[in-house]
Amino acid sequence: MLKTSIRSHSCNELNEGDVKKSVSLGGFVHSNRDHGGLIFVDLRDRYGITQIVFDPKNKKLFSDAEKLRREDVIVVSGKVRERPKDMTNSSIKTGKIEVLIDKIENISKAEVPPIEVDDRIVANEDTRLKYRYLDLRRPSMQKNFIFRHNVIKTLREFLDKEEFLEIETPMLIKPTPEGARDYIVPSRVNPEKFYSLPQSPQLYKQILMIAGFDRYFQFARCLRDEDLRADRQPEHTQLDLEMSFVNPEDIFELTENLMKDLFKKLLKIELKDFKRIKYEDSMEMYGTDKPDIRFEMFQYTITDMVKESEFKVFKNAISEGSIVKCMCVENGKDITRKQIDGLIDFAQKEGAKGLAWARVKGKKFDSNIAKFFSDKIQTEIIKKTKAKEDDLLLFTAESFNLANEILDKVRRKLGKELKRIDEKSFVCCFITDYPLFEYNEENSSWDFSHNPFSLPKEEYWDSLEKDPGKIISYQYDFVLNGWEMYSGGVRNHIPELQERALKVTGMSREEAKNKFGFLMEAYRYGSAKHAGFGLGLDRLIALMLGYADIREVIAFPKNKNAQCPMDGSPSELSKEQLKESNIKVDFVKK
């Protein structure tokens, strides 16, 4: 019961057992109807709807009821009575009763809402964000945030049972060397010096392991000044976690148990065991390290097979350093030529030169490119791709990154169009064995492929500087339905090894000391081997509820320009504020 000094019940509590009881309710006027002299009002609060009734015998009360409009907030008192049997409403919990009102305690009048508080009529994005307080009144939005609360509650309860401690880390920190841009905060009391807002609690959670807390978590606010898209916001929440004396498999087991518990309790879904896929295999089979494994449609590198063919498009691409990949689309006989042309057009819009294709007929290619491939090459490709009669083969010849990117996008598109995906299913996997470094062609240098604090596998320690491109780390990702839920890894807790790894990327000891010397120094006082992750909570909740846009589960998100139409942020500062913060704005308005 939600009794307070103002109301006795919520709008979702009353039933036949409460008939003849005197009650008081508070809520929003959802709708009102005048039926034969009686006025019926649907009173709505966060919990549900109760029908209240005004009788014309009480003229003053009835007159007040006639003036009620949508979204007025009222507090009323009256007696519960049964509805006539032909007027019950089975779609709401309180549908068998109504409250005959004898007193209106309070009325907060509402202007005509600029948007409908109705799930059947959804306003455009900017209007929704400008009047977010009205948008959040919609029942579907309220359900989203009740669900979000339950997700956090369930995760917290699980981790508490596993002896994790919830510890908060600072919001004002030293600028970090992570991938996105920092939000910068000037220090008024330390002129010419700045804090940054955390992109993640990465360094501090590592220090908590050095401090001996063994198992840590928090629901951390993370801020990144980066371009926005449907699954990105300048600020987001992540389940941040770290634990000591572990190997990757311990993290995988914890994650799997945590997610299975969450999905079972909140969605009544039994998740299947999570697959482990090596990064190299994921890129080969799916063209991405974020594979949607709800359906099978595999890719194969066939560069060596086709370089001796007569197909100049492939031969020229290979001579320029590109690769050739082929994707097998099973049961492709129903894919029309018009659909294939649509796929080619799609690939070109995504940056590819084009797509070649062939159907398998009688163990050979049925395509206008078949004449460029000998029977031997066709047989080899069909065998490698495990193609069967009527399967469709799609080919691309591009750089390694672009070839994979194109076939990944084509695969996802076909998965939806051919209805190969069970949209109600949830399938998870771990991607393991990431390379520690990746080569930056533009700068002719080595960068960290993921986290700069990941531990390289022991067998690569001696060759760290000799062949950076072949160094494999204890970095891993957790992927759900083709979306990255977290990146994590075993941390490099050996100071000398960390310095060597940083040096490979061109970072001097002095630069490393300036950026995160406090962490390097802390490790010199001993540390357990530890690992963890930062799981995108907004993205997880959105997927669980069936949304592609995380703004549906964030109370006050920004728009695509990183602005909030409701409060007008970001905004200019007054001259006094700028002066007090020791800031001079050197920017010419257009």
Render pLDDT for 275-299 as a digit per residue (tens, 0 to 9): 999 999 999 999 999 999 999 999 9
Could you tell me which residues come within 8 angstroms of residue 436 by beta carbon, excluding any fewer than 6 positions away? 448, 449, 454, 456, 460, 468, 471, 472, 473, 475, 501
Q: Which of 28-37, 53-62, 258-267, 443-452: highest mean pLDDT?
A: 258-267
Residues comprising the chain, all counted: 590
Sign of CA pseudo-dihedral 409, 410, 413, 418? negative
* Range in 16-30, 419-433, 438-452, 479-493 the model is least confident about: 438-452
| pTM of the shown model | 0.92
442-451, 469-478, 537-546: segment of lowest average pLDDT = 442-451
Averaged over 51-67, what is the pLDDT? Answer: 93
506 contacts 446 by C-beta, under 8 angstroms = yes
Predicted pLDDT at 211: 98
- For residues 288 and 443, the model is more confident at 288
| Token pair for 15 | 């039933």
CATH 3.40.50.150 fits 295-421, yes or no: no
pLDDT digits over 226-241, tens only?
Answer: 876 656 899 999 999 9
User: Strand 235-244 vs strand 215-223: parallel, antiparallel, or unpaired?
Assistant: antiparallel
Does 421 have pLDDT greater than 60? yes
| pLDDT band at 176; cut points 50, 70, 90 | low
pLDDT at 235: 94
Residue 179 pLDDT > 70, yes or no?
no
Q: How many CB atoms neighbour CB 245 within 10 A?
A: 12
What torsion, rounded to 10 degrees, do the Cα atoms 525, 528, 531, 532 define? -70
C-alpha distance from residue 176 to each of 263, 354, 499, 586 (Å) = 34, 41, 16, 25
Q: What is the chain's percent helix, strand, coil content, to nearest 5? A: 35, 25, 40
3-state DSSP assignment of residue 432: strand
- For residues 514-540, average pLDDT: 94
Domain residue limits, the chain: 16-108, 142-277+429-575, 295-421
Q: What is the pLDDT of residue 185?
A: 92
The reported pLDDT for the residue numbered 36 is 72
pLDDT tier, 147 (very low <50, low <70, confident <90, very high otherwise):
very high
pLDDT score of 589 more than 70: no
For 337-386, write each residue's pLDDT tens digit: 999 999 999 999 999 999 999 999 999 999 999 999 999 999 999 999 99
Query: What integer is the mean pLDDT of 13-27?
Result: 96
Question: What superfamily in CATH does domain 142-277+429-575 come from?
Answer: Bira Bifunctional Protein; Domain 2 (3.30.930.10)
Helical (H) or strand (E) element with 270: none
CA nearest to 503, candidates 446, 434, 435: 446
Contacts of residue 76, Cβ cutoff 8 Å, sequence gap at least 6: 24, 25, 26, 43, 52, 99, 101, 103, 104, 105
Alpha-carbon span 382 to 118, nearest angstrom: 54
Homologous superfamily, domain 16-108: Nucleic acid-binding proteins (2.40.50.140)
Range 53-71 average pLDDT: 93
